[in-house]
Structure 1
Amino acid sequence: MSYKTLDHITISDIETHEIPSDIAHKIHQKLTQIIHDYGPSSPQTWLNITKQLLNPQLPFSFHQMMYYGCYKDFGPDPPAWLPTMESARLTNIGQLLERRGKEFLGPKYEDPMSSFSDFQKFSVSNPEVYWKCIFEEMGLSFTKPPHCILYENSSRPGGQWLPGCSLNPAEICLSLNAKRNLDSIAVLWRNEGEDHMPVNKMTLEELRREVWLVAHALDALGLPRGSAIVIDMPMNVDSVIIYLGEPKAIPWTHATPLKAAADAWCHMDIRKGDVVCWPTNLGWMMGPWLVYASLLNNASIALYNGSPLSSGFSKLVQDANVTMLGVVPSIVRAWRSTNCTAGYDWSAIRCFGSTGEASSADEYLWLMGRACYKPVIEYCGGTEIGGGFITGSLLQPQVLAAFSTPAMGCSLFLLDNSGTPMPQNMPGFGELALGPLMFGASHTLLNGDHDKVYFKGMPTWKGKVLRRHGDVFERTTTGYYRAHGRADDTMNLGGIKVSSIEIERICNLVDSSILETAAFGVPPSGGGPEQLVIAVVFKDTSKSMPDLNHLKMCFNSALQKQLNPLFRVNFLPSFGHLISSYLVSRVVSLSSLPRTATNKIMRRVLRQQITQPVATSKL
C-alpha cells in the first residue's frame, strides 16, 4: 500500500480511518507542530508521534499511516523505537558503563549509547573480565569459585568454562540477598476461567517451602542416583516448583542458567521489581529460561494457566503489571486478528521480547502500539546455546523485525558461497556461523557426536574453528541483522527445528497415489514465520489425482497425530490452538523433484522457485 509523506496528510486523510472529525482536527494540529519542530521524515519525528499522537484506542490503520508516512523517503531500516540518553543510563548495562566504562574501554569510552557496540566487542575479546563483572553485578555466588572463567583447550573447541567451580542455580534462585527478602513476590499466576479473581501470588518463602517439599518427596522415593525425572505438565506454578536445580538435561549444564539470566540482565534489562511473562512451557528452552531469567535477577514470574490467545491472558498482563512480555510471532498474529487485547492497559510494559520465529514488521508495529510504543527485543538462539547469540538492546535504536547486536559474549560470522567468513563489519547474506567461545553453550549431546554436529567441516577464524548454526542471515547496510530461515534440510516451525525428512516420512504414507514428497519452509514476502510447503510427485499422472486442498488437510491431520512428540508437546496445551498454523500452508504438484548428482533432494532449489513469481506459476 502506498502512503503519503506526513507533510501531505490532510484532515480528510485522518478521517478516512474512522476517526471523528473533531479528533482528526486535533491530531492534524499536533502533527503539523511535530513536523514543524522535527521535519516530516526523521526518527525524532516518529518518536514524538508515538508520544504525542498515537494510543492503542486509535485504529491500527492510522498507526500504519503515521509510521510509513514518516519513513516513506527515509531509506532502509527505519527505527521504530529510540533510546534516550536518560533511559539508557538507567539500564543495567548503562549503569555499569557509567561506573566502569573507562576501565573497560579506556579513553575511547563516551557514554552508554555511543560505546555499547565497543563494550559488546570487549565482552568477546575479554571473557575473563567481562563475565566476572557480570556475575558480580547480578549478585551470583559460587559454592566453590572456579579456577578461572575460561580455559581454552584444543580438544574442546568451545573451551572449558568455570573449571573447578561448584554452584547450584536452583539454590541461587531461592536464596536471600540484598535485593529480596522472604516476603518478595516470586510467582504470580491466574487460572483460565478465573479472570475476574485477584491474581494469585507466592512469596519467596512460600516457593522455597514448596520446592523443598518436592525435593524431599523425590528423595523419599529412593530413586537411584542419576535417574531421569520427566515433567509433563502445563507451565504453571507447580511446574516451576518441580523444575527447581535440575537444569534442562539436553544439553544444559549448571553454567547454562547463568547464560540465560545474563542475557535477560543485559538485553531485556530485567531487574528487581520486574514482572516477567512469556507464554511457554518447560518442553521448550524458553520455559527454563523464564525461570532463571526472572528469579536469578530478583524479578517475579507471571504465569497464565490457559490459552495465551484469550482475552483472559491479556487481562493477566494488565492485572499483574507485567513489565517484560515475551511473545512468539504467531501469538501476536492471533492477538491482532481477534483483537483480544482491546481495552486492557499494557502501559506497565517496559519492553517486549520475541523469539521462536521470524517476525513480521506490520504485526510488531501493532504489538508496540498496544503498549504505547515500547521496544521489541528480538532474541534468537537455541537450546544448545542456552540463550541467544543475536538480539537487541535498550541502548540501541530498534528496527521492526530485525536484530541490532550480537548477544554479549558472542561473535557472528556470515559465510559466503565458498564457506569463507565475510568481513564482520560489511553487509552480506549467507549461512550464519558462531564464534566457538560462548559461555553456556553445549559441549556434549546425549544422542549424537557434538563435534561432528557443530564443528566438523567448519572454517576457522584467527586460528579457532567456528561453530555451525545453520540459519541464513542478512547483515544490512545499516548494521542490522535479519533471519531468512534454515540453510539445511530442517525448518523452524514455531520455534522448533523439525527435519524435512521426518515430515516427508509421514506425508509419503498419507495417500497411495503419492510417489514421494519434499517438505521445505518458505519465508512470507512480508516477513514472519516460515510457512511449510509440501511438493508432491504422484505415481501415475495419467490417472485422476487427489485434490490438493483435500491432500493438504490430510497432511495436516497426519502430522498432528504422528509428528515428533517434542514438537507436539511443546505447544500443548498453551499453544494447542496454534499448531495448525505451523503445519502445511500449501501443497504443490511436480512431475519430479530436483536432485543432486548423488540423488539428494535440492530443497533450496524448491524454496527459491516458489518464492519467485515466475517460477511459482510453474509449480
Structure 2
Amino acid sequence: MGKLAKLVGGIKARLRRRKMLTAAATESSSSSSSCYDKMEKTNSMKVEITSRRAQKLIAKNLAIVDAMVAGSNSNNSSKAKKRAFFPEEAVLTNVGRVLEARGREFLGDKYKDPIASFTDFHKFSIENPEAYWKMVFEEIGITFSVEPSCILRENDAYPGGEWLPGAVLNAAANCLTAKPGRSSDDVAIVWRDEGKDSEPLNFVTLEELRKKVCLVANALDALNLAKGSAIAIDMPMNVNAVVIYLAIVLAGYVVVSIADSFAAPAISMRLKISETKAIFTQDYILRDDKELPLYSRVVEAKAPRTIVIPVRGSTPIKGLRADDLSWEDFLAKVNHAKADNYTAVEQPAYAFTNILFSSGTTGEPKAIPWTHLTPLKSAADGWCHMDIRRGDVVAWPTNLGWMMGPWLVYASLLNGASMALYNGSLTSSGFAKFVQDAKVTMLGLVPSIARSWKSTDCTAGFDWSTIRCFSSSGEASSVDDYLWLMGRVCYKPVIEYCGGTEIGGGFVAGSLLQPQALSAFSTPAMGCNLFILDNNGNPLPQDSVGTGELALDPTFLGASTTLLNADHHEVYFSGMPEWNGKVLRRHGDEFERTPDGYYRAHGRADDTMNLGGIKVSSIEIERICNRVNDAILETAAIGVPPLGGGPEQLTIAVVFKDQSSQTEDLNQLKLAFNTALKKLNPLFKVSSVVVVPSLPRTASNKVMRRVLRKEFTQQPKHSKI
C-alpha cells in the first residue's frame, strides 16, 4: 500500500504541474486582460481549444488516479465509491456551495456533485417550490414583517397559483439591511463620472445609502401625496436615481419607470397611463461634455409636479415652472432632526412597487406593474445564474426605464453585492478603466456594446481579471463578438439571459455549472418550465429537438398578474394550449432546442421587434413612416437579423402609390425615415429601405411581416438601399 500511495502521489503531482503549465501557456505572450486581441482569431481559437482539450485530458487522468486511491483505501469494500471530479470553482458558486451542503437532502441518492446534478436540481426547483424557494430566501436573507403561510398555494385568481400568501414585506427595506457576513460599512455603490477617469472612485456605503434613502422618503411624504401614488423617474441611472427609486418603494409609493432617451410624446403617454402625480428628472444629460436637454422634454410632455436635479452639483436651475421644485428645495422640506430614519411601509406581497412599460402590438405600450414579489425573482436569478455573491461588484449599464435597471438594484443589493455605476459613454476607454478600477466581478451588457468595444479596441490595456463572468440580454448576440469579449478575460463565460419585463427576470439562461455555448442558453431559469409549440400550437415533448413559439408554465414567481391598460388574460393566456391541467403562458419569442440540449432565440414570433434592446411594435414605426412622403402608399417595419448574427436591424418595406414610375431617392427616403423616428426614440435607426409592389396579407387583411422577414433575411430581391 505504501508503494502504491507513493506512486499515485507522484502521478497526481506531475499531472497537476502539467495542468498549471497548460493554463499558463494559454495566457502566455499576453496579459490577463488581453488574451485574445494580440493574436489572430484563428490562432486564438486554436490555443483555446487545445487548452480545453488538455484540461479535459488532465481532469480525466486525475479522476482515474482518485479512483485508484478510493479503491486502494476501500479494502475491497462494496461500499467504496469513486469520487467524481469537478472543478474546484464549482463548489465556490452559490448553487455549488448549497448542493455540496444539502444536495442529498434535496435530491437523495440522485445527487452526485454540483455539475452532474445541476439538471436534477433544476427539476427539483420546479417540482418542489416550497423547499427550493425557502432555501433561496434563506440564502439571500429576505426578511418578512409577516411570514407567508406557505410558498405557493392554488388560487384561481392568480395564474399558476398564489405566491407567499399572507406575506408582508418591503423590497426596498430588504435592500438596505446588511446581509449575514456583511456590515453597514460595506460598499453598496461604487461610481465615477465621465471625464474623471484619473480620479479616485466614489463609494457609498450601505449605511450612507440608507440615510440618503430615508432623507428622500421623508421629503416624499412632505409632498402630501396619497400612499400608493405613482411617482416617475426620468433620468440616467446614477446614485441619485437609485436613491430616489428605493425611497419611493420604501415609503409605499409606486415608481413609474421612464427611459431617459424618450421623446416628449412617449414620456407623456406613459405619464397618462400610470396617472403619475410627480416626476424626478435632471436639467440635462451630460455625455462627452455635451448637454442634452432632459427637463425641457419633461415640460414638453406636460408632466405633473417635477423635482429637478442639477447635473453640475449645486448649479441653480433656471426656468422652473411655478409648481416645480429644485432638488435642494425638495430636500429642504424635511425636518432634519429625523431625516436619517424612516419606518418602511410594509405591504402585502402583491402590492405594486413599480410600473414599467413594454411595447404591445397595438402601438400603445403595455403598463406592467411589479410587486414586492418581482424583486425576489430578480435577485434569485442573479444569485443562481450570474452567481452574484456577497461582496461582489456588479455592473450592468442600463437605465431605470428598462427592466434591467430595477433588476440591477435588486440583484446586487439583495444579494449583498455592490452596484457599479458609470455616468458617461459606455463605448469609451473611460468605462473600460472604470471596470478595472472598480474590480467588477460580473459585467452585464447588450451585444451591441461588445461589438462597439471590438471595433474601437477601447478596452485594450485594461485589467479585467476580476471578472468571473459576463451576462448578456436585450438582443441577439454574435458568436464572433462574444468570443472576442471572452478573450479579454481569458475566456470567462458569457451567461446569456432572456426574459421579459412582465416576469421580472429570465425564463432561460446559463449557469457556471454547465458548459456554455456562445449565443445560446444552457438551461431554463430555476423554477421555470418552458415549452416549444409545434405548428399546431401544441407543446412538443419536453427535452425534444424542435423550433417554434415559446410558452411558459404559468407557475412562475414574480410574473405579472395584471396590466393597467390591457386585458392580462387576453394578452398572455387566451388561445394558449394546456399542459397538466394548466393553461400555458404566452411569451412571443421563437426558440429552438438543439440536439445538444441548448436553446437558441430566433426573434419575435409576433410583429414586435427588438431594436438595440428595446422592444417596439412594428405598427408604431409604420405610423410614422407612412406620413414621411406623400408618394408612399404603405410601409412595413421589419426587424431583420444580420447574416453573421447579432442585433436585429430595422428594414422598411415601402409600397409606392405610383409603381410605374419610381422617382424617389431611397437614400433621401432613408434619411427622412430616421429623422421622423427620432420623435419615437432617437435610438431607432433604419438600416435599409426595400421597395416592394405590395405587402403580403392574410385573408383577413393582416400584414404578414414574418413572410417579409424571411424573404429579407434569405435573399433580398428588390430595390434596396
Give yes or no for contact 1:54–1:63 (8 Å, CA) kept in 2: no
SS of 1:110's equivalent in the other structure is coil
User: Which of residues 562, 574, 581 in structure 2 aligns to 1:444?
Assistant: 562
User: Which of residues 699, 704, 715 in structure 2 aligns to 1:602?
Assistant: 704
The letter of the residue matching 1:104 is F
Deviation at 1:232, TM superposition (A): 1.1
Instruction: Quote the residue 1:142 is aligned against.
Output: 144
Deviation at 1:128, TM superposition (A): 1.1
The letter of the residue matching 1:348 is T
The letter of the residue matching 2:216 is V
Instruction: Quote the residue 1:3 is aligned against.
Output: none
User: Which of residues 562, 565, 589 in structure 1 aligns to 2:691?
Assistant: 589
The letter of the residue matching 2:465 is S
Provide the aligned C-alpha RMSD in A: 2.3
Instruction: Quote the residue 2:400 is aligned against.
Output: 282
The letter of the residue matching 2:97 is Q
Instruction: Quote the residue 2:441 is aligned against.
Output: 323
Instruction: Quote the residue 1:31 is aligned against.
Output: none
Q: Would the alpha carbon gap of residues 388 and 139 (structure 1) be closer, same or farther in structure 2, given more than 3 Å must change?
A: same
User: Distance between the aligned counterparts of 1:47 and 1:427, measured in 2?
Assistant: 36
User: Distance between the aligned counterparts of 1:165 and 1:155, measured in 2?
Assistant: 17
Deviation at 1:49, TM superposition (A): 6.8
Gaps in structure 2 of 5+ consecutive residues: 1-14, 57-84, 255-352, 356-367
SS of 2:101's equivalent in the other structure is helix
Q: TM-score, normalised by structure 2?
A: 0.74
Q: Would the alpha carbon gap of residues 88 and 270 (structure 1) be closer, same or farther in structure 2, given more than 3 Å must change?
A: same
SS of 2:138's equivalent in the other structure is helix
SS of 1:117's equivalent in the other structure is helix
Instruction: Quote the residue 1:397 is aligned against.
Output: 515
Instruction: Quote the residue 2:44 is aligned against.
Output: 66
Q: Would the alpha carbon gap of residues 102 and 340 (structure 1) be closer, same or farther in structure 2, given more than 3 Å must change?
A: same
The letter of the residue matching 1:557 is T
User: Distance between the aligned counterparts of 1:237 and 1:381, measured in 2?
Assistant: 26
Instruction: Quote the residue 1:248 is aligned against.
Output: 354
User: Distance between the aligned counterparts of 1:456 and 1:547, measured in 2?
Assistant: 45
User: Distance between the aligned counterparts of 2:23 and 2:527, measured in 1?
Assistant: 31
Give yes or no for contact 1:46–1:70 (8 Å, CA) kept in 2: no
Instruction: Quote the residue 1:166 is aligned against.
Output: 168
Question: Is 1:101 aligned to residue 103 of structure 2?
Answer: yes
User: Which of residues 230, 233, 242 in structure 2 aligns to 1:231?
Assistant: 233
User: Distance between the aligned counterparts of 2:458 and 2:618, measured in 1?
Assistant: 34
User: Distance between the aligned counterparts of 1:53 and 1:295, measured in 2?
Assistant: 39
Correspondence 1:170-185 to 2 at 5 A? 170-185=172-187
Question: Is 1:271 aligned to residue 271 of structure 2?
Answer: no
Instruction: Quote the residue 1:19 is aligned against.
Output: none
How many residues were matched structurally? 554
The letter of the residue matching 1:365 is L
The letter of the residue matching 1:63 is K
Instruction: Quote the residue 2:627 is aligned against.
Output: 509
SS of 2:512's equivalent in the other structure is coil
Instruction: Quote the residue 1:189 is aligned against.
Output: 191
Tell me the alpha carbon deviations over residues 134-184 of structure 1, each in whole angstroms, 9 at most, x when there is no partner: 111111111101111111223432321111100111111111342221211
Larger radius of gyration: 2
User: Which of residues 430, 433, 443 in structure 1 aligns to 2:551?
Assistant: 433
Q: Would the alpha carbon gap of residues 535 and 71 (structure 1) be closer, same or farther in structure 2, given more than 3 Å must change?
A: farther
Q: Would the alpha carbon gap of residues 48 and 541 (structure 1) be closer, same or farther in structure 2, given more than 3 Å must change?
A: farther
Instruction: Quote the residue 1:112 is aligned against.
Output: 114
User: Distance between the aligned counterparts of 1:585 and 1:47, measured in 2?
Assistant: 43
User: Distance between the aligned counterparts of 2:440 and 2:377, measured in 1?
Assistant: 23
User: Which of residues 103, 125, 128 in structure 1 aligns to 2:130?
Assistant: 128
Aligned-residue sequence identity (percent) comes to: 65
Question: Is 1:414 aligned to residue 416 of structure 2?
Answer: no
The letter of the residue matching 1:526 is G
User: Distance between the aligned counterparts of 1:214 and 1:259, measured in 2?
Assistant: 26
User: Which of residues 599, 607, 611 in structure 1 aligns to 2:713?
Assistant: 611
Further displaced range: 471-480 or 60-69? 60-69
The letter of the residue matching 1:67 is M
Give yes or no for contact 2:690–2:718 (8 Å, CA) kept in 1: no
Instruction: Quote the residue 2:305 is aligned against.
Output: none
Question: Is 1:357 aligned to residue 475 of structure 2?
Answer: yes
User: Distance between the aligned counterparts of 1:506 and 1:338, measured in 2?
Assistant: 33
Gaps in structure 1 of 5+ consecutive residues: 1-33, 39-43, 569-575
Q: Would the alpha carbon gap of residues 155 and 167 (structure 1) be closer, same or farther in structure 2, given more than 3 Å must change?
A: closer
SS of 2:470's equivalent in the other structure is strand
Give yes or no for contact 1:54–1:372 (8 Å, CA) kept in 2: no
Give yes or no for contact 1:60–1:366 (8 Å, CA) kept in 2: no
Instruction: Quote the residue 2:640 is aligned against.
Output: 522
SS of 2:200's equivalent in the other structure is coil
Give yes or no for contact 2:37–2:484 (8 Å, CA) kept in 1: no
User: Distance between the aligned counterparts of 1:453 and 1:294, measured in 2?
Assistant: 31
Give yes or no for contact 2:477–2:647 (8 Å, CA) kept in 1: yes
Q: Would the alpha carbon gap of residues 423 and 71 (structure 1) be closer, same or farther in structure 2, given more than 3 Å must change?
A: farther
